[in-house]
Structures are given as C-alpha cells and as structure tokens.
Chains A and B, each alone.
Chain A
Amino acid sequence: MTFRVHVRVMPRAGLLDPQGQAVEHALAALGFEEAGEVRIGRAIELDISAASSDEAEARARLMCDKLLANPVTEDYLLDVETD
C-alpha cells in the first residue's frame, strides 16, 4: 500500500527564529497586532510504500532522524493519511 505522509519540521522551541520574528513584525506593521509567537518551519509531503500505516510511520520517523530534520535544532511531527 502507499501512504501519504505529512512531515512538519519546526525550529526547536527556545531557539531564536529570526524568520518568525521578521514575519511577526511585518504582521504588526500591517495592523495584525493580535499575532504573536510566529515561528516558521517546513512542511514535507511524501508517499511511502509500506504494508501498514504503522510501518509507514516508522519509516518516515527514520527518514526524519537521518535527513529531513536536524536533531540539533529542529523537532518534527508526523501524520500518516488514512483513507
């Protein structure tokens, strides 16, 4: 089976995220003063061939640990699409 996997990679909480800060300032400049704590990460989508949803998630986790996220600076969230 093929599973569509969504990966969300975010800068680790507590680490300075200058991109998020710049966007927060831009939002404030546009009048969106209610916006705060803006952080910018990366979304990755991929198809994984696997026998089960659990296996697809385990493989995706391995991919994140090895390449898709940097364990020093980033955290990730996985979501496997179910039909």
Chain B
Amino acid sequence: MPRVAVVRFPGSNCDFDTLRAAESVGADAYFVWHRDADLRGADVVVLPGGFSYGDYLRSGAIARFSPVMQAVQRHAAAGGPVLGICNGFQILCESHLLPGALMRNTGLSFVSKPVDVIVEQIDTAFTCDYEPEERLRLPVAHGDGRFVAAEDTLRMLEAEGRVVLRYVAATERSPFQPNPNGSANHIAGICNPGGNVVGIMPHPERAADRLLGLTGGSGFFTSMISSHQESSN
C-alpha cells in the first residue's frame, strides 16, 4: 500500500478529511508538518485545502517557501505523485510546479456548493480509475478559484491534454451546476507534463463517503493505490 503524506500548513482545514479519504481506500496515510524537511518515505504527497498562512499576500504564496515544499519539489521532480486540492492547487501554481494562477472568483463571492465536472485526462496518478469523460459531482469551496494563464499557456495545456477536470459550461436550462468562478476554458484542474503533479479546485475528499452524500471523489484516492501498484510491478 502506498505511503501517502498529507501536508499540514498553519491554516490547512481539509487535512483530516483528506487523511481519512486516503485511509478509507487502504493507503498508509500520515501527516507531515510544514516545517518538516523530510517526507518520511512518501510514495504520494497531498496538499490539502484550507487557508495556508492565512492566504496572506496571495493564496498559496507564503506556503511555497516552507521547508516541506522544498521536499515536495524534489519528490515531484523525481516523478513522485503530488495532488493539490483547492489551496493545495494554489500552492502548486505559486511554486511553479503547475502553470497559471488562481484569482478571485468572477462573482467575488466565496462559492461553496457541489458542481459538475468532467474528467478529461485519466492518464494521471490520481485519475486512472475514472472512465474517459466521466462526469462527477464534487463540492467546491473557494474564493480564489478562477484559473488564469497566458494565452499560449492555455493553448499548450489544451494541446497536451493537461486539463484534468473541466467544469460544465453554463447553458440555458442545463440540469448541471456549471463553472462557479469564471475560470479560463472552464478549467477546474490541470497536470504537469508527466501527469504526476495534479492540481484541482474541487474537493474529492468531501465526496468520498456515502455518509456525505456524494462518492464521485473516491476515484482520486483509489487511483493513488492503482497507480502505485502499477509503478511497483
């Protein structure tokens, strides 16, 4: 079973949910503190949601410089899987492990509700258990979730198939919950060229247990197990 390190920053608040979701699929999950310089033999690293360092300056901007992020950078550079959820996605962008940035939602409001997304890339360490173009309902909870990138970066992400999750576009009388934040190209999640670093705004850990009503997020956690088994064979 993979060792899954869940990184805790001061201000992380989805850390326990994430740990529990990883444990529920059988992973050997544990916490790593932001001051730790060692990931203690992690196979997979997850940066959970929250408001690291109070989101001072910009969301994720300060967390980038914590000792643990140096270790995460090395882990990612060696091809190790890293998943950033919400604030974790913002940290990955600020750390330049993923391109672009996450800006204030177009509607200015903090949006906390389930939305519908499509899994557009299943060749990653965190989405390999999904079907191509699978539609999921996942909760979002963010104020800074509008993905922004330079035009050529957007073109590259699309051309290289690096959009992992995409919100459903708003259409008249659509039964779906659409793009909640004005994100460019309706992007909800992207990956690096290797597919080992993935950042997503929705919260799969909040949709990974029947008791919580939604279960569509559990594939992110079972994929950690599947991709680990594949890589160790």
Determine if chain A interacts with chain B. yes
Measured CA separation A70–B61 after assembly (Å): 9
Residues on the A chain within 8 Å of B101, using CB:
70, 72-73
Measured CA separation A67–B66 after assembly (Å): 13
Contact B105 A67 (CB under 8 A): no
A1-41 CB contacts (< 8 Å) to partner B: 11, 15-16, 18-19, 22
Residues on the A chain within 8 Å of B65, using CB:
67
Given A16-B182, A19-B108, A22-B108, are A68 and B103 also a contact pair (CB < 8 Å)? no
Contact A18 B100 (CB under 8 A): no
Contact B108 A72 (CB under 8 A): no
Measured CA separation A72–B107 after assembly (Å): 21
Contact A70 B58 (CB under 8 A): yes
Contact A18 B57 (CB under 8 A): no
Contact B104 A70 (CB under 8 A): no
Categorize the interface residue count of chain A.
Answer: 10 to 19
Measured CA separation A11–B103 after assembly (Å): 10
B231 CB to nearest A CB, Å: 31
Residues on the B chain within 8 Å of A11, using CB:
103
B125 CB to nearest A CB, Å: 25
Greatest chain B CB density within 10 A among A11, A15, A22, A72 is at A72
Over the window 68-97 of chain B, the binary record of Cβ atoms lying under 8 Å from chain A Cβ atoms (1 yes, 0 no) is 000000000000000000000000011000
Instruction: Determine whether B118 belongs to the interface, using a CB cutoff of 8 Å to chain A.
Output: no
Contact A18 B104 (CB under 8 A): yes
The residue from A18, A67, A68, A72 contacting B106, defined by CB atoms under 8 A apart: A18
Name which residue of chain B comes closest to A68, CB basis: B57
The residue from B57, B100, B104 contacting A72, defined by CB atoms under 8 A apart: B100
B145-163 CB contacts (< 8 Å) to partner A: 146, 148-150
Contact A67 B57 (CB under 8 A): yes
A23 CB to nearest B CB, Å: 10
Name which residue of chain B comes closest to A22, CB basis: B108
B42-65 CB contacts (< 8 Å) to partner A: 57-58, 61, 65
Greatest chain A CB density within 10 A among B57, B94, B108 is at B57
Residues on the A chain within 8 Å of B146, using CB:
16
Contact A18 B105 (CB under 8 A): yes
Residues on the B chain within 8 Å of A68, using CB:
57
Interface residues of B (CB under 8 A from A): 57-58, 61, 65, 93-94, 99-101, 103-108, 146, 148-150, 182
25 contacts between A and B (CB under 8 A): A15-B103, A15-B148, A16-B106, A16-B146, A16-B182, A18-B104, A18-B106, A18-B108, A18-B182, A19-B108, A22-B108, A67-B57, A67-B65, A68-B57, A70-B58, A70-B61, A70-B94, A70-B101, A72-B93, A72-B99, A72-B101, A72-B149, A72-B150, A73-B103, A73-B148
Interface residues of A (CB under 8 A from B): 11, 15-16, 18-19, 22, 67-68, 70, 72-73
